[in-house]
Amino acid sequence: MSEVFPAAKPASVSALRSFEGTLLAICDDAARAVGSSCMRPSLGYRRLARSPVDLRLFFTDTSALAGGMAGALVERLAGLGVVDTVRRRGAEVSLRLTEDFIDQLGRELEGAAPSAIATVGGMDGRHYVVNFLNPNASKPLHVGHLRNAALGMAVAASLEACGARVLRQCYVCDIGRSVCEAMAGYEGLLAQHGQDWGPERAGLAPDQFVGRCYADYARASDAVPGRGAESGADPAEREDTVVHDRADELLAAWVAGEAEARRLWERVRSWALGGQEATLERLGARWDRVHHESASLAAVERLTAAGLASGAFYRGIGQEVLFDTGRSEYATLKLLREDGFPTEHARVIGLFLEEQAVGAPPYRWIVVCGDEWGAAGQAELDVARRFGAAELVERVEVFAHGMVTAAGSKMKSRDGQAVLIDELLDLLIDSAPVQDLLEEYGRPFAPEQLADMLVKGYFLSKRASKGLEFTLESFTDEASNPAWAVVRALCRGAASRARATVGAPSDPERYRTAVLQAFQLRQLVARSAEGFQGTSLMKFVGGFARWYLDGASDPRLDRVVVAVCSASLGTLGVAARGR
C-alpha cells in the first residue's frame, strides 16, 4: 500500500525551526552534563500581550533544575547570539530574544514563506489514510457534506504539516436503491419531456438535475401507504429496503447486466459525479484514490459465501443475509437485501476487505463520518475483523461529527430542504458583508476565495462532535465565526503589499508579538494533528486576527500577519492566497 502514498512535504529549515531545535538540544546537553534524567521542557511563547518575556521553558518540577544543571543551562542559553536575556525562577526559565533575531524571523515571514511556520515535523515516516466525504451518486452535495469535507481536508493537511505521508481517499456510493430511484425519476421525465431532456434543457447543474430526479421519485414512493417510515436506527435503512417498484426493477436489471439499464445508469452516474466534482473543485478538495461501490460486488459475494459457510451469517426473508453483531445498539447487520442485492454496509465492507488485502497497512486509517454512522460502522468493522486479516481494522480511527441543520431541518436531499454547497457559496459571494469588505480593500482576493475560507473556517471552529445549526449570517458574524476576523485581517494586510517594507516597524513590541505567534502556531499544528481537531487552531488564528484589527496597520506588521494567517489556514486545508 505504501507505494501509492504521496511524498511527504519537505521539512522546513527556517531560522524559527532551527532555533527550537537548538533550544531543546541545549536542554538535553545540560541534563547529560550533570547526569540528570530531566525530561525535555515544554515551550510557552508570548501570547497576544506586551511582556518582557518572549519564551518560557517549563520543566516538570523544580528538582529538574537541581544541582549544577540550572547554572549550566542558563549559561548555555545566555551564550546564544539570538538571546538577549535569560532568567530562571524555580522550574521555569524565561528568555527574551534579540531585536536582530526578531527582525530576521520577521523578514522570513514577510518573504511569504509560510511553510517555514507550518512544517513542524514529529510524524516523519508515518503513513496515514484519511477517508472522507463518501458521496452518493444520486444527489448534489449539501452543507452536511461540506462539514465532512472541511474536517477531512483539515485532518489530512495537519498531518502533512507534521511530516506524515497522507493518502486522501473516498468511497463513492454509485449503485444502490437511491441511484436507481434517480434513474427511475429520470425515466419519468423522459416520458414527459422527450428523449433529449437533460440538465441543460432543464436549466440545472448536472448533479442538481439528478438530485431533482431522485427527490421527486423518492417523495412519490414514500407517499405510498406503508412506505417511507424509518426507525432511525440504521442510516442505510431506506437504501436497504425492497419495495418492488420501478427503482428495484432497474436495480435488478443493472445486476443482470442489461444494456439499457447500464446505459441509463452510466448517464445518470456521470451527471451526478461530474457535478459533484465541479463543486469539490470550488472547495479545493482532492483525492489520491477513489473506490466505487459498483466494483464491490465480487468481494461481497466472497464475503457472504464465507460467512454463511462458517455459520456467522444466516438467512432471513427471501435472499436476505444477516449478521448478529452482539451489540445492544445495533443488534443485526443486514448484508444482502431480500432480493439478494448487497446493502450499503456490505458494499463498504467489501471495499475495505479488498483494501486490507493489498500491501502493508498505514500507521492509521482515519474515517471522517457523521455520528449517525457510529454503531453501524462499528458493526461493519466487526465483520471485516472476522473475515479478513485484521491488521488494517486495528489501525482504524473513527472521527465522527454531528449533524448539520438549517432552520431546524437536517440535511436530507430527498425532502428538498437541504442547503447545497454551491448555493451557500454563491449566497456568500453575493452577500453585502463580503462585497463591502472586498470593496474596502481593493479586492485583494477573489470573492470565491473569501467564501471558501468563511465556510471552512466556520465548521472548523466548532466542536466536531456537536450538532450544528447555522444561518447565512453566521458566516460573517465574528462572534459565530473566527474566520470572519481572519478574512478581514488578510484583506487589510494584503492591501498594503504595494507599500515599502524597508526600515523598522512603527511599533517594535507589537511587531515582536506578531512574530512570536509563528511559534505558537507550530505548537498548535502539532496538537491539532495528534487529536484530529482543528478547533483550537482556528480559534487561535481568529484571536490573532482580532488583535491585529484592533491596532494600527504597519507595512511590515501587515506582512507578518498575512503569513501567519495564511499558514494557519493552510495547515487546516484552507487556501489563502490573494490575487
Q: Domains in the chain and their CATH numbers?
A: 15-97 (3.30.1360.70), 419-570 (no CATH)
Q: Rounded distance, CA 216 to CA 80, Å?
A: 71
In this prediction, residue 308 carries a pLDDT of 97
Contact present, 368 and 337 (Cβ < 8 Å): no
Look at residue 177 in the predicted model and tell me its pLDDT: 96
pLDDT at 2: 43
**pLDDT at res. 71:** 79
Query: pLDDT value at position 409?
Result: 55
CA dihedral 240, 295, 382, 176 (to 10 degrees): -10
Q: How far is CA 406 from each of CA 276, 417, 464, 469, rounded to the nearest angstrom?
A: 21, 9, 17, 5
**Cβ partners under 8 Å of residue 426, min gap 6:** none
Q: Which amino acid does the sequence have at 377?
A: G
**For residue 215, what are the contacts with CB-CB under 8 A and spacing of at least 6?**
139, 185, 413, 414, 415, 416
113 SS3 class: coil
Instruction: Let me know: does 167 contact 289? Beta carbons within 8 Å.
Output: yes
Question: Per DSSP, which regions of 419-513 are E strands?
Answer: 468-470
Please state, in angstroms and rounded to a whole number, the distance separating the CA atoms of residues 161 and 116: 10
Check if the beta carbon of residue 475 is closer than 8 Å to that of residue 454: yes
Q: Which helix (H) or strand (E) holds 171?
A: strand 165-172
Closest CA to 466 of 420, 535, 409: 535
Segment-wise mean pLDDT, segments of 10 residues, the chain, 579 residues:
59 69 81 64 80 85 65 85 89 90 89 61 88 97 96 94 94 98 97 95 98 94 67 79 95 98 98 98 96 97 97 97 92 96 97 89 95 91 86 93 79 67 97 97 95 97 93 95 98 80 85 90 83 87 97 92 92 83
